Amino acid sequence: MTIHNTLDNEVEIEPFIKQLTVTMDGCIIVLSSHNVLYTSQYHQKVLIKHSSLAVPDNDLAIYTNFVDQIYILQLDGNEAERTSYSLKADMGSIVNQLEHTECMYFQFKEGPQYEVYYVDLRDSAIIWAQLVYSADRYNDIETVINRPDKLIVEEQVMTDFNPGSKLIKKIFRVRSNFLFEEGRRYEEALALATGLVTIEMRPRRLGIGCHSPSKMVSELEIGCPPHRHIRVHKPTECQDYGSYIINRRSYVQENDEPPATEMVVEYDKQLYGCPIILTVKDVFKPEIDLYDEDVFVESMTAGFVMWEDNGRHDFTYTASMQSAGCLRLAQTWEKMKEGVSDDLPVKDIWGPHNYKSCFLYEVTETRLLHDSYQILNQSGDNSVRWLATGDDQLYLFSLHVVDPYYSYCSLEARVAVIVSDESLVEVRETPLLRISLGTFAGLTGSILIATYFYYRRGHIHDLAQDLHHNYGEKAEPEEDHEQGDNSDD
């Protein structure tokens, strides 16, 4: 190629790369300024030169589609001409003419194939690669992790020998490396543990004649999986609830001052769902499941805290710090709210970021451990106990997981509870229930009446036969005696 300088002299320049394209299967295509095509494979250090595509001064471009079909686009003024190019056939014929082009393995596979692996704090992902190569040659599987500090990797190697070939398979179980200890900033530990990690596995020895694997790099997103959340077990059908009243002695205002009047609240069924109905003698501990979208993952076992959304305080806990096994004072809502701004959301007052376990030993007076233990979990004995009396009392709870070692997600849920002062919860009638009970009562009454008349008819018949048997035979001899007297006359 020649260019003209300011003195109008022709100057020859070296060819340069005009376009670089990488196909879906890892083939690298280089188009030079002289319209000469070069190709290579992923992880190869050799370029294969192909024949010139057109006159060097022509304006060419290369593009591929999603199935790796290759096209040459030639621009001529205002027109563009597209022609297909059989790159694999051309490259195969060139490779066959070169020396030392044999591939150093027979087969390389990697799996399972996912675009991204999402790894939560307690999750693990399994990635494997399998290489089959000639038994008289050496090869192996190389592994490169770009952020190894974020992962804990367990490696398992399997080998197998067949006539003329050897198989090696490497299986990696990876999980998050979350290093958080009390006294360290939670946000700092979270930032160090989460993020994108790539794991690349490839054959150690390649060759120009090798076909690159379609997928050699696995991406792991360490953090909260999309759409992960928790759900509370609750009824799926219920009546519509309107407004309800909270006694002024049963709640406190946001500034912890006692209110002067009762509170009237509208029940939000869409937010809380159907309420759980209990009696004042029942204790309450919500059953919670972990979900990925609508897919059940597991029953949640992490520690969580609850608060009543309208400030109700007429409930307590069944366990004390001592009975829960605490070795030092446990966190409580009263302590966590000290020095906190009233504008701070409740869920930010107490959470994984400031959680402290009470199961670490610290010199503590035993009498101080008699206070309520306010953290709940599925395996413990702690539950909520009711202090309210009177008509049905409605509690609207929010709950938040505080265990920093359970998940990278902020897990929250809501649940409503109706507490009745009666020893038995009144059955709430519905139209279907009334129809069912009415039908059952009608059928039962009809059967009883029919049974009564059936047995009454049978009883009358038996009674008539008994009367005829007992009194009918006595009447016949008297008639015979009267006839004998008449004959004597």
State the Cα–Cα distance between residues 306 and 152, nearest whole angstrom. Answer: 33
Of 464 and 108, the one with more pLDDT: 108
State the Cα–Cα distance between residues 230 and 288, nearest whole angstrom. Answer: 7
State the Cα–Cα distance between residues 304 and 135, nearest whole angstrom. Answer: 57
Residue 202 domain flag: yes
Residue range 18-70, pLDDT digits in tens:
888 887 767 788 888 878 888 877 666 777 777 666 656 678 888 787 766 78
Q: How are strands ordered across the β-sheet holding 141-145?
A: 117-119, 217-222, 195-203, 141-145
Which ranges in 148-302 belong to alpha helices (H)?
Answer: 186-193, 269-272
pLDDT of amino acid 485: 53
Query: Confidence band (pLDDT; 50, 70, 90) for 335?
Result: very high
Query: Confidence band (pLDDT; 50, 70, 90) for 85?
Result: confident
- 243 within 8 A of 385, measured Cβ to Cβ: no
Task: Identify the domain boundary among 31, 63, 97.
Answer: 97
132 and 88 both lie in a single domain? no
143 and 68 both lie in a single domain? no
Q: For residue 112, give the CATH number of its domain.
A: 2.60.40.2020
DSSP sequence for 300-331: --S-EEEEETT-B--EEES-BTTTTT-SSPPP
- Domain that residue 90 falls in: 17-97
Query: Confidence band (pLDDT; 50, 70, 90) for 171?
Result: very high
Q: Omega of the bond prior to 56 within 30 degrees of 0, cis?
A: no
Residue 472 domain flag: no
State the Cα–Cα distance between residues 57 and 4, nearest whole angstrom. Answer: 14
Radius of gyration of the chain (CA): 42
State the Cα–Cα distance between residues 440 and 434, nearest whole angstrom. Answer: 10
179 and 121 both lie in a single domain? yes
233 and 204 both lie in a single domain? no
Q: Give burial (CB, 10 Å; 0-12/13-18/19+) of 235.
A: exposed
pLDDT of amino acid 307: 96
Of 296 and 20, the one with more pLDDT: 296
State the Cα–Cα distance between residues 58 and 75, nearest whole angstrom. Answer: 8
254 and 306 both lie in a single domain? yes
70 and 163 both lie in a single domain? no
Residue 143 domain flag: yes
Q: What is the average per-residue pLDDT within 196-205?
A: 91
Query: Confidence band (pLDDT; 50, 70, 90) for 427?
Result: very low
Residue 328 domain flag: yes
- 228 within 8 A of 406, measured Cβ to Cβ: no
245 and 393 both lie in a single domain? yes
161 and 299 both lie in a single domain? no
pLDDT of amino acid 337: 92
pLDDT of amino acid 113: 72
249 and 343 both lie in a single domain? yes
Of 97 and 5, the one with more pLDDT: 97
- 319 within 8 A of 372, measured Cβ to Cβ: yes
72 and 125 both lie in a single domain? no
Structure tokens at 394: 């409605």
Task: Identify the domain boundary among 63, 97, 131.
Answer: 97
169 and 199 both lie in a single domain? yes
Residue 460 domain flag: no
Residue 148: C-alpha distances to residues 98, 188, 196, 198 (Å): 39, 18, 11, 9
Residue 84 domain flag: yes
Task: Please say if the pLDDT value at position 254 is more than 90.
Answer: no
Q: What is the average per-residue pLDDT within 426-449?
A: 66
CA-wise closest residue to 251 among 129, 59, 148, 396: 396
Residue 488 domain flag: no
Highest mean pLDDT among 54-68, 292-306, 425-439, 460-474: 292-306
Task: Identify the domain boundary among 64, 97, 130.
Answer: 97
180 and 275 both lie in a single domain? no
Residue range 462-477, pLDDT digits in tens:
666 766 666 555 555 5
Compute the mean pLDDT over every residue in the chain, rounded to the nearest whole number. 82
Residue 392: C-alpha distances to residues 74, 268, 275, 431, 456 (Å): 81, 17, 12, 22, 49
Task: Please say if the pLDDT value at position 236 is more than 50.
Answer: yes
Residue 59 domain flag: yes
Q: Any idea which residue has 């069944």 for tokens?
A: 318
- Overall domain count for the chain: 3
State the Cα–Cα distance between residues 327 and 255, nearest whole angstrom. Answer: 32
Q: Is the pTM of this model over 0.95?
A: no
